[in-house]
Structure 1
Amino acid sequence: KFFGENPIYDEKNQPIAPAKWRFPGRGRVESQLRRAQGLLGQAEQTLNKLPIRGNQAMVVADIEDRKNEIDKALEYVTLYGKYVECEALYSVDNLLSLWDSLPEEDKEIFSFDPRSIDWYEYVYNIHLPTVITKGRVKTSPSKSSTKSRSSRLRNQVLDSRRQLAVFDLENTLIASNVVSSWSYLATKRLPKAERVKLVTKTLAQAPSMLALDRKDRSDFLRSFYRRYAEAPITQIDDDSFEMFSEMILTKSFPAAIRRVREHRALGHRTLLITGALDFVVKPLQPLFDDIISATLSHDGNTYTGQMKQVPPIGETRAAVLRRFAEENNYDLSEAVAYADSASDLPMLEAVGFPVAVNPEPKLAALANRRGWLIENFRPVAGSPSKLLPLGSRVRR
């Protein structure tokens, strides 16, 4: 009755209706909870293996929330299960006998006669209101003007007091990856028959490449970049600029590009740290103050396919960021970092304001749990969605 007249509101501003008390038995409830726990665990494992991101990946975060709720429910079942499995009638006969045995002067001093208490007044006007107040629950709908958590976090990120804004590239600024870039450059000057052969071979290798990428991103890049061995430097540089306009721009996230410009307008220094190769990201130089990328060694005319240094990813990316901040006198607690993958956690954890962009399932769940800002930037509607983009044919 009390909570029907004085409802508590949920996070969606809806009153929570008091449920009818049902408890079919501790064993049955525990069995149902453990079954649900197992099913959610299987669903989480399956989703973590799928190449999903952004809003789709947030399903994993929701599953994790449900798992936490079930874990808490199981704790309560274990703790209080025995209390609800028994029927007990509590008597105050002994208390009343003790009260009746007291002399009148003691009754004046020690007033513990339960019959003297207005229990309705106590429960409805004292006890339950106090529980609600101390529990800090929401007893009225939030005003429509109240900003969402995302809005509050976004305002913190886009605060003029921030000093440095750091961005990843793939799936953070553009819906592309190192394989797509290589595919474009590798096919641009090939005849049609050779193009088909190369694409077919690459698609067949996709599962093994994905497995290596998930196991160790650095090893994957070292292995994959060997495909650039003997590639002419001048040709690659020229084709990369064409790739920028034909592929990278069309796969970019307009909201992400705007975000970079917003940071620059606020006076924040913008830095791109990526495992992509320098000639791929060179056309992005006007957008950023600084770019740190992977580089290949060369003999003056052609690339060797060997990397000059460890690619800036994972722990290395965080180390590169710390060195950059130290050399330029930036406080990382006032820095913002944008990234999409759990492998970027070292960089995200190094700054005061981490932002998960189009996050993969693991990062989505972690960002949701830690209360980080989550952004879902999307490409322009109708942008190319080929598995392996092909370079435009060079007219001879």
Structure 2
Amino acid sequence: MTHVATLVCDPAMPVLTGAMLRRASEAITAQSCAPRDPPYWLAQDVAADIFFETGSAVGTKAVADEVRASLGNAAIDVIVQKAEGRRKRLLLADMDSTMIGQECIDELAAEIGKKAHIAAITERAMRGDIAFEPALRERVALLKGLDRATIHRVIARKISLTPGGRALVRTMRAHGAQTVLVSGGFSVFTSVIAAAIGFDEHRANELLFDEEGKLSGLVVEPILGKSAKLAALEHFQEKHGLTATETLAVGDGANDLAMLEAAGLGVAFRAKPRVAAAAHARIDHGDLTALLYAQGYKREEFVAEQTGQAEELRAEL
């Protein structure tokens, strides 16, 4: 059976070398796997594939761990998977700390001097130490009284798109894939972020506003959490006539785990330890274009990202 190990680093700091690829090939051979061809560069010094054959079922995470160990402390991510079907037709992506660099609810809390308190609850929920749904209700209640203008200001001034996100979504769409932003956050954010990045659709929780246009401290039930993200994956698979193996999911928190485990390739992106350990693959160093390299896209196949993200976010408001 043919598998592929994709090695990728942060394109802003290209450190992948031929010597590293040779050490990786030796580590793969030590796992009773036979590299099929010489390593193949997807982007010079940034990403490369090593195809290998194995006569039995191979533990992909175990092989990835061995390859990482062979590279010492190098800032290189390793994704190991079956070569067949690696290019996906559906992407489901988390928003906070995945497609953007912030937790939106924490940034709203900063506007009223409650960021430290709310961020501590967010961190515990994302680690899986407390249940997501009651944690969300508690945090939303603390935001009571915030107005829409404050939310728009936070989006324009505090939110930054994760590098590689636009290239990921736009390249997959250009090759026929469906893309969905699915968040345990709020639609007032996902509507703007999804449009700025280029997603086909978005799903998130709905905040309730009072008659004066201020946050009521409540969120529409049922809350979109762990089980709802899994349900969204299954819904879009069925909607587009796809199998689980044709899907890619990416996220960083405990509420993403069911979705990551059910996808054909579930990737923990700079994730909490429990999530990184459970996902099929993990990205700790690269940006979101690592998910394109994992699918076998070469750098010249990418749909280029655009600049001026702050202006584009403001334009969406």
TM-score, structure 1 normalization: 0.49
User: Kindly tell me: are residues 296 and 154 of structure 1, through their superposed partners in 2, closer, same or farther at Cα, counting changes over 3 Å?
Assistant: farther
Do residues 361 (structure 1) and 276 (structure 2) align?
no
Residue 99 (structure 2) aligned to one of 148, 166, 173:
173
SS of residue paired to 1:349: helix
- Alignment partners' CA distance in 2, 1:361 and 1:155: 27
- Alignment partners' CA distance in 2, 1:362 and 1:229: 32
Question: Aligned letter for 2:201?
Answer: D
Do residues 281 (structure 1) and 190 (structure 2) align?
yes
Q: Is the 8 A contact 1:13 1:142 kept in 2?
A: no
- 1:136 deviates by 4.2
The residue number in structure 2 matching 1:228 is 143
- Alignment partners' CA distance in 2, 1:352 and 1:328: 15
- Alignment partners' CA distance in 1, 2:243 and 2:122: 37
Larger proportion of helix? 1
Residue 177 (structure 2) aligned to one of 246, 263, 268:
268
- Alignment partners' CA distance in 2, 1:144 and 1:327: 37
Q: Is the 8 A contact 2:109 2:118 kept in 1?
A: no
Do residues 244 (structure 1) and 155 (structure 2) align?
yes
**Alignment deviations for residues 53-73 of structure 1 (CA, whole Å, 9 cap, x no partner):** xxxxxxxxxxxxxxxxxxxxx
Question: Aligned letter for 2:234?
Answer: R
- 1:170 deviates by 1.6
- Alignment partners' CA distance in 2, 1:310 and 1:359: 26
Between structure 1 and structure 2, the one with the greater Rg is 1
Question: Aligned letter for 2:230?
Answer: A
The residue number in structure 2 matching 1:203 is 116
Do residues 298 (structure 1) and 209 (structure 2) align?
yes
Larger proportion of strand? 2
User: Kindly tell me: are residues 329 and 305 of structure 1, through their superposed partners in 2, closer, same or farther at Cα, counting changes over 3 Å?
Assistant: farther
Do residues 163 (structure 1) and 89 (structure 2) align?
yes
Q: Is the 8 A contact 2:108 2:151 kept in 1?
A: no
Question: Aligned letter for 2:219?
Answer: M
- 1:308 deviates by 0.9
Q: Is the 8 A contact 2:183 2:204 kept in 1?
A: yes
Q: Is the 8 A contact 1:167 1:271 kept in 2?
A: yes
Question: Aligned letter for 2:156?
Answer: S
SS of residue paired to 2:218: strand
Residues 270-349 of structure 1: pairs in structure 2 closer than 5 A: 270-286=179-195, 287-301=198-212, 302-349=214-261
SS of residue paired to 1:267: coil
- Alignment partners' CA distance in 2, 1:14 and 1:329: 37
**Alignment deviations for residues 336-384 of structure 1 (CA, whole Å, 9 cap, x no partner):** 11111343121012221222211221222333xx5x36364459xxxxx
User: Kindly tell me: are residues 158 and 13 of structure 1, through their superposed partners in 2, closer, same or farther at Cα, counting changes over 3 Å?
Assistant: closer
The residue number in structure 2 matching 1:392 is none
Do residues 147 (structure 1) and 58 (structure 2) align?
no
User: Kindly tell me: are residues 209 and 164 of structure 1, through their superposed partners in 2, closer, same or farther at Cα, counting changes over 3 Å?
Assistant: closer
Q: Is the 8 A contact 1:163 1:334 kept in 2?
A: yes
- Alignment partners' CA distance in 2, 1:261 and 1:154: 24
**Alignment deviations for residues 301-338 of structure 1 (CA, whole Å, 9 cap, x no partner):** 33322111233221221123323433454433311111
Q: Is the 8 A contact 1:297 1:303 kept in 2?
A: yes
SS of residue paired to 1:365: helix
Q: Is the 8 A contact 2:109 2:143 kept in 1?
A: no
Q: Is the 8 A contact 1:355 1:375 kept in 2?
A: no
- Alignment partners' CA distance in 2, 1:359 and 1:262: 23
- Alignment partners' CA distance in 1, 2:80 and 2:282: 9
* Identical positions, percent: 19
- Alignment partners' CA distance in 2, 1:229 and 1:170: 21
Question: Aligned letter for 1:143?
Answer: P
User: Kindly tell me: are residues 253 and 306 of structure 1, through their superposed partners in 2, closer, same or farther at Cα, counting changes over 3 Å?
Assistant: same
Q: Is the 8 A contact 2:208 2:219 kept in 1?
A: yes
**Alignment deviations for residues 188-214 of structure 1 (CA, whole Å, 9 cap, x no partner):** xxxxxxxxxx25xx4256546644663
Residue 130 (structure 2) aligned to one of 210, 215, 234:
215
The residue number in structure 2 matching 1:82 is none
- Alignment partners' CA distance in 1, 2:252 and 2:139: 21
Question: Aligned letter for 2:97?
Answer: N
Q: Is the 8 A contact 2:163 2:287 kept in 1?
A: yes
Question: Aligned letter for 1:270?
Answer: T
Q: Is the 8 A contact 1:218 1:313 kept in 2?
A: yes
Question: Aligned letter for 1:12?
Answer: R
TM-score, structure 2 normalization: 0.60
